[in-house]
Structure formats: C-alpha cells, structure tokens
C-alpha cells in the first residue's frame, strides 16, 4: 500500500471528519478538506494530491461534477465520486468527467480501500502508457525518414513532420484519409500509377523492403524519387492492426548517381582515346596503365577511409538500440519492439556492408595483412558453425558435418571468414531441409563443400554471383535481401589471399553446392 496524498471534498463536517479518520486508519495521508467546489479546485491546483474523494452534491451553485471537470482540464488526478444518491441521471452526468470510481454512501472501509487502490493503480498504468506513447511519438517525429502509420482499413492515423514535408500534406488533413490518397506513387520509367502499394502488407502481413524507380506525387503535383519500405503492425496476438510505412527522398542520391555515371562514361571515352593514341608507344602506355592502377588504389583507399568514418556512428546506433531493446523490454509494446528491431537489424546490415567494402578495398589496394598459421581445419569449421547456429535452429534446418582430420597452413582468419560467408548464404536461401558441410584432402588441396536444399539459382544467374552488388531474379515471396558483396568478397579472399578457387553448382528449386579448393600449405605470402 503506497502512502498516497488524498484530498477530501465533503460539505458535511461530521462525514468529512469520519472519512478523514478512515483514510488515515488504512494508511493514507490526507492533505486537506474542502467543503465547496471552488475550495476543492483551489486546494487541488495548489497541493496537487495523488487522489481526490469528491462528494457530488456540495454547498453552493457548483457541484462536485463541476469541480472535477475544472480540475481534470488542468491536472491529471484520479477522482472517486462519493454520493448518497444513486440517481441514474446523476451517475450518467458524473461519467462525463471520467471518474475512476463511484461509491454510494454509506460505504465500508474495505470498499473504500479497494476503490482507492484500484484508482491509484489505474492512474499509474495510464501515466506509463501516456509516457510511452509520448516517447514513441517523439522518437518517430525526430527520425530523419518520413513515417506514416495506418489502421487496418488503410486509413492514416499518424504522420511525422518529414512525411508532411515530402507529401505536402499536413497531418490534420491526412488523418483519416486512405493511404493511397496521400501516398500516391508511380513508376518512374513508365509513369503508370502503382495501385494499392501496401495491399500485400495489410492482407498477407508481408514486409516490403522497397521498390526501384518509384516516384511520389505530392499534394501540389510535384514528383519526388523515393525509396520506401513497409511492414505490418501487429497486436500481442499477432493480428494485423495496420501498417507502418517509411520512405525517404533520394533526389540527391539519384543526382549523384547520374553525375557519377556521366563522369564514368566520360572517363571511359578519354581512356579509349588515350589508349588508341599510345598504342604504338609501349613505354607511355605502361605509364598510363600505372596511373590508372594508382587511381584505382586511391579509389579503394578513399572507400576504406569513408567506410571507417561511417562505422563509428553505426556502432553507436546498434549499441544504443540494443540497450533499448534489452533495458526497456518490459516497457515496450510489441509494435515498439518491432520498430526498434527494424532499426537494430538495419544497422547491423549496413555495418556488414561497410565491413565488406573495407576488406574489398584493402584487397584491391594490396594492403590486406596476411598471416600464415598452422592449425586444424576442424577448429575453423566448428568456429564458423557457432556463428550461424542460431539462424539454423530458428529456421528448423538440419546441419550435417563430415570433415577429415586435416592440418593445414594458410591464413586462418580469412578461411574462417570465407566459410562463414558461404554457410550464412546457404542458411539465408534455404527454407527447409538440410545443409551439409564436407571437407577432404585431394592431391595436397582441401576441398570444402557446402551443400544446401534451398531455392537454387537459375543457370543464367550464376555468372552474377561474384559481381559486386549483383542481383538475382528471386521469387518475390522469398523476401531475401543481402549486401550484394558477400560472395564477391569470398571469391576475392579465396583467390587473392588463400590462393584457391571457388566453384558453384546449382539447380533451381533443388539447392546449391559451393566448393572451395585451397592448398594445404601456403608458403608464399602475397
């Protein structure tokens, strides 16, 4: 029982005194007594009690209902009405001020205690919910992307300031309107309207990670290139309550991409012209080639430097989001957890991409440190399995491992990185079935094979696997996304660092096999 501060509003002195004695007896503090509505309002505004016991019928023109209405407009204080009357009309009028309880005199001490306890508990819970909602609303208003939320029917219930700016619709104007009226998007290349862009989200609960070549038609008719993603909002039972849509203006990014493309085309023309001019001049051609190699090296160093600058804030985002998910888990509802989860997973995805870019740039610049170690292959395989074990268990997959006892000398860290990349890839593209990892020694080379029963790859798509940011033609229902650099980096590590090769065999809807062929002993450090 908490030591709550209670104000008594009762115009009969004997009743008020008896009520004060009862309240003190059950463990609460009485901060004052009022006999009229005006006096009750003044004391409440000055003392700010934790709870008010309010008699409905008071001396004077104003009633306890009038006093409660005045107090509730200024202070968020729970009020319990007391009355010797049980008139239905009076009770209905009292309900308009949203009291926390209604007690008819005379009442028992136990009844009074229960009403006070429930009112205080309800008030605390409402305050927590209100604080949580304000915290979430402030967070959504503060983030840099545009955010729109809808109810189950697709009508808008929330827009943050960025969404207002991009759509040119004010929140008050858009609230209650169908999302398709406000979020009017068309195909950038054809100009055709994209009909009901979030139907799959609301009807089937599918997360949409964005579309290419999309333009938003704003309220004033201007067109903005955007990147959008949407996800369902579910209640505690998993039922879809609505959706949250996040999008951003990519005008600047597209402008930069166009400029880079134009510069690249100009550079290619200049290189071709220069090469033709120097075709008969071997020494000058070699000099030009060296200049181009230096340009590539500087480009790689620039990428690495920029990537390092991005990792520090990303680590902070991931770290603090993880703290919120763990430390606030009891205070967050499922929708809030899901939204923080999106921030957390997006940050880790971007950090993985940056790490891959750094490794690739170091390889291309010839600055990747390589250490030759002697170790057991089994220890590396076991370490790689630990990294992907949770994902395998979450998807209900079966992992089969069959490796020979092999001692080898090579760069242990980069071999581990390559095996983890291939295992993670197999788990990502396998919905059910098995993943088999085998390793054997053949003619002083180690064959490490990772076979899955996943969705497989079209024969025409296999050449794209080891191209940076290569995209495969996947069925939309798979909803699989990656950095587009994992396999490219793996091949660079295996060929340029470990002195080996990578082979792929795959059949659509039957699975894939990736095989690393690596020398048992790598004596020369490149």
Torsion angle (degrees, nearest 10) of CA 114, 116, 117, 121: 140
Rounded Cα distance, 480 and 487, in Å? 15
**498 and 418 in contact (C-beta within 8 Å)?**
yes
H or E stretch covering 445: strand 445-452
**522 and 372 in contact (C-beta within 8 Å)?**
yes
**133 and 141 in contact (C-beta within 8 Å)?**
no
So what's the pLDDT on residue 525? 42
CA atoms within a 13 Å half-sphere pointing along the CA-CB vector of 150: 26
Structure tokens at 495: 């060929």
So what's the pLDDT on residue 351? 55
So what's the pLDDT on residue 134? 64
483-503 burial: b if 16+ Cβ within 10 Å, else e: bbbbbbbbbbbbebbbbbebe
Cα distances (Å, whole numbers) of residue 250 to 239, 253, 309, 446:
33, 5, 22, 47
* Vertex 63: Cα angle to 62 and 66 (nearest 5): 80
Beta bridge partners of 11: none
CATH architecture of 5-139: 3-Layer(aba) Sandwich (3.40)
Rounded Cα distance, 236 and 245, in Å? 20
> Which parts of the chain have pLDDT scores under 50?
1, 524-526
Specify whether domain 145-252 bears CATH 3.30.450.20. yes
So what's the pLDDT on residue 1? 44
* 3 state DSSP class of 213: coil
**152 and 241 in contact (C-beta within 8 Å)?**
yes
Contacts of 512 (CB under 8 A, 6+ apart): 426, 429, 451, 452, 454, 456, 457, 504, 505, 506
- How far is CA 361 from its chain centroid? 28
Cα distances (Å, whole numbers) of residue 198 to 180, 184, 427, 462, 479:
9, 11, 28, 32, 15
**231 and 244 in contact (C-beta within 8 Å)?**
yes
- Residue range 110-156, pLDDT digits in tens: 877 888 888 788 878 878 777 666 666 666 666 778 898 888 888 99
* 3 state DSSP class of 48: coil
Contacts of 24 (CB under 8 A, 6+ apart): 30
**pTM confidence score:** 0.39
Q: How many CB atoms lie within 10 A of CB 321?
A: 19
* Residue spans of alpha helices (H) in 84-175: 88-95, 109-142, 161-167, 171-174
- Please report how the helices 282-327 and 251-277 are oriented relative to each other, as an axis angle in degrees rounded to 10: 160
Q: How large is the C-alpha radius of gyration of the chain?
A: 34
**46 and 34 in contact (C-beta within 8 Å)?**
no
CATH of domain 278-365: 1.10.287
For the chain, what are the domain ranges? 5-139, 145-252, 278-365, 373-519
So what's the pLDDT on residue 379? 92
* Vertex 276: Cα angle to 270 and 278 (nearest 5): 100
CATH of domain 373-519: 3.30.565.10
So what's the pLDDT on residue 407? 93
Closest by Cα among 306, 134, 333 to 233: 333
Mean pLDDT, all residues of the chain: 79
């Amino acid at each position: 029982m908490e030591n709550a501060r209670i104000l008594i509003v009762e115009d009969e002195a004997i009743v008020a005194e008896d009520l004060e004695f009862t309240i003190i007896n059950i463990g609460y503090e009485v901060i004052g007594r009022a006999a009229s509505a005006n006096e009750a309002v003044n004391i409440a505004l000055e003392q700010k009690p934790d709870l008010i016991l309010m008699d409905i019928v008071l001396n004077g023109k104003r009633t306890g209902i009038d006093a409660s209405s005045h107090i509730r407009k200024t202070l968020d204080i729970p009020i319990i009405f007391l009355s010797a009357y049980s008139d239905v009309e009076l009770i209905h009028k009292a309900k308009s001020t949203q009291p926390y309880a209604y007690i008819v005199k005379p009442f028992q001490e136990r009844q009074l205690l229960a009403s006070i306890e429930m009112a205080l508990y309800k008030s605390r819970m409402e305050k927590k919910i209100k604080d949580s909602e304000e915290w979430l609303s402030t967070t959504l208003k503060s983030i840099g992307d545009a955010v729109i939320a809808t109810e189950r029917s697709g009508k808008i219930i929330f827009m943050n300031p960025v969404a207002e700016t991009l759509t040119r619709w004010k929140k008050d104007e858009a609230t209650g309107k169908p999302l398709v009226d406000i979020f009017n998007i068309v195909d950038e290349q054809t100009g055709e309207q994209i009909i009901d862009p979030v139907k799959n989200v609301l009807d089937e609960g599918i997360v949409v990670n964005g579309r290419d070549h999309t333009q938003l038609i704003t309220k004033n008719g201007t067109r903005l290139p955007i990147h959008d993603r949407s996800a369902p909002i579910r209640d505690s039972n998993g039922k879809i309550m609505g959706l949250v849509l996040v999008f951003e203006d990519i005008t600047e990014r597209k402008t930069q991409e166009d400029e880079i493309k134009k510069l690249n085309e100009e550079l290619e023309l200049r290189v071709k012209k220069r090469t033709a001019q120097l075709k008969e001049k071997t020494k000058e051609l070699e000099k030009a080639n060296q200049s181009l190699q230096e340009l590539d090296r500087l480009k790689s160093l620039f990428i690495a430097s920029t990537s390092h600058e991005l990792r520090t804030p990303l680590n902070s985002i991931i770290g603090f989001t993880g703290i919120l998910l763990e430390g606030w888990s009891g205070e967050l509802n499922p929708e809030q957890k899901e939204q923080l989860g999106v921030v957390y997973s997006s940050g880790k995805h971007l950090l993985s991409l940056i790490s891959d870019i750094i490794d690739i740039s170091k390889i291309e610049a010839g600055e990747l440190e390589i250490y030759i170690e002697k170790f057991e292959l089994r220890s590396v395989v076991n370490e790689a399995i630990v990294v992907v074990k949770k994902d395998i268990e979450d998807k209900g997959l079966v992992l089969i491992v069959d490796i020979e006892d092999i001692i080898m000398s090579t760069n242990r860290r980069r071999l581990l990185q390559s095996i983890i990349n291939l295992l993670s890839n197999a788990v990502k593209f396998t919905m059910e079935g098995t993943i088999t990892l085998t390793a054997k020694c053949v003619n002083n080379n180690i064959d490490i094979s990772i076979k899955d029963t996943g969705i497989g790859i079209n024969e025409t798509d296999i050449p794209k696997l080891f191209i940076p940011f290569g995209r495969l033609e996947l069925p939309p229902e798979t909803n699989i996304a990656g950095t587009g650099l994992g396999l490219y980096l793996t091949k660079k590590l295996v060929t340029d660092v470990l002195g080996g090769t990578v082979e792929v065999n795959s059949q659509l809807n039957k699975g894939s096999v990736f095989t690393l062929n690596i020398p048992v002993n790598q004596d020369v450090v490149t």
